[in-house]
Chain A
Amino acid sequence: MSMESPMSTSSPLTLYGETFTSRLLLGTSRYPSPSVLLAAVERAQPAMLTASLRRQTGAGGEASQSFWNLLREAKVPVLPNTAGCHSLQEAITTAEMAREVFNTDWIKLELIGDDYTLQPDTLNLPEAASRLIKAGFKVLPYCTEDLVLCQRLVDVGCQAVMPWAAPIGTGKGPVNPSALRTLRERLSVPLIVDAGLGLPSHACQVMEWGYDAVLLNTAVALAQEPVVMAGAFADAVQAGHNAFLAGAMQAQDTAQPSTPVLGTPFWHHA
């Protein structure tokens, strides 16, 4: 006899009409070695791998070629980013260059407004997203958890948005749970928590809230055992999503015995 599990009724992650079997997007930076990165990818089976572009001439070309070969070997869709861009034109030009190099319309839009916190330039992000969408890109914008900002990004055509949990690389986990939960309640587009996750429990938590996916890098890359941690995150993301589908009980202020009270032996004998 078989029973239908919640997983079998779960629809796959759908972004811009494309479906993905995994709800984990994985970054490719800061791993101890390319072979560890590749093993982490094989363990996590992510939906997408993020990549970037940097000036390259001379000796740096070998590292770039090596990474290029690794991406081809991994056989995972690539999500290029515009990391480090501070102006609208920089982001747009970098996206256009990424489209040609990686042969993809996907772009993780990063428009940095503050170098210390790496907080996105929230005032110019919607305009950048709008122009890229009009140019045919599938834009996944890295943004804050601000509801109005995220709504504006949806208004200009973003079919998913990616609020941070905490500043990039901090591993703090969700620093503003209330705002993230409000965002989930108010927006119906796919939401991907991007940046600031440090533990699988952080990823599980946001998935329990109904987030559609997570994007992370440093938490895996800087773990003592990145491959093991990649698996832990993949499992946590799936567990959190299953829990969301299952529907959690309401928390209670008072204790409720789980074992029936009726027929308790020696009741009132004393």
Chain B
Amino acid sequence: MPEPATIQVLINQAPHDLPANATLADALQRVGIAPPFAAAVNLQFVPKTQYACHVLHPNDQIELIAPITGG
């Protein structure tokens, strides 16, 4: 059975379709987020040095967070 051509992932809870074997770097390019930010996949931190080699899987939950005010 052939693998699907696309996978669906959640980026900050919004669904996105990406090519199969897409990496986290591909997902970031899709949403166009600019630094400074940090990323996690399925509640695990992914350093920016690994964006290009972190292959995504169907239903992965990606969190992208950026600085805001805080107490």
Contacts and interface: CB of A to CB of B under 8 A. Distances in A.
Interface of A: 27-31, 37, 50-58, 60-61, 63-65, 67-68, 71, 80-81, 83, 89-90, 93-94, 96-98, 100-102, 168-169, 195, 217-218
A100 B38 contact: yes
Q: Interface residue tally of chain B, by bracket?
A: 20 to 34
A64 B47 contact: no
Contacts of A100: 38, 45, 47-48
A97 B70 contact: no
Contact of B68 (A31, A67, A96, A169): A67
A217 B67 CA distance: 17
Contact of B64 (A55, A63, A80, A168): A55
A154 B22 CA distance: 44
Given A37-B69, A53-B65, 11 more contacts: A27-B69, A51-B70, A53-B67, A55-B12, A55-B65, A56-B66, A57-B14, A89-B43, A100-B47, A100-B48, A217-B71
Interface of B: 11-14, 31, 33-34, 36-40, 43-45, 47-48, 63-71
Contact of A29 (B11, B38, B70): B70
Nearest to A50: B70
B71 A218 contact: yes
9 contacts: A29-B71, A52-B70, A55-B63, A57-B14, A67-B67, A68-B66, A90-B43, A94-B65, A102-B67
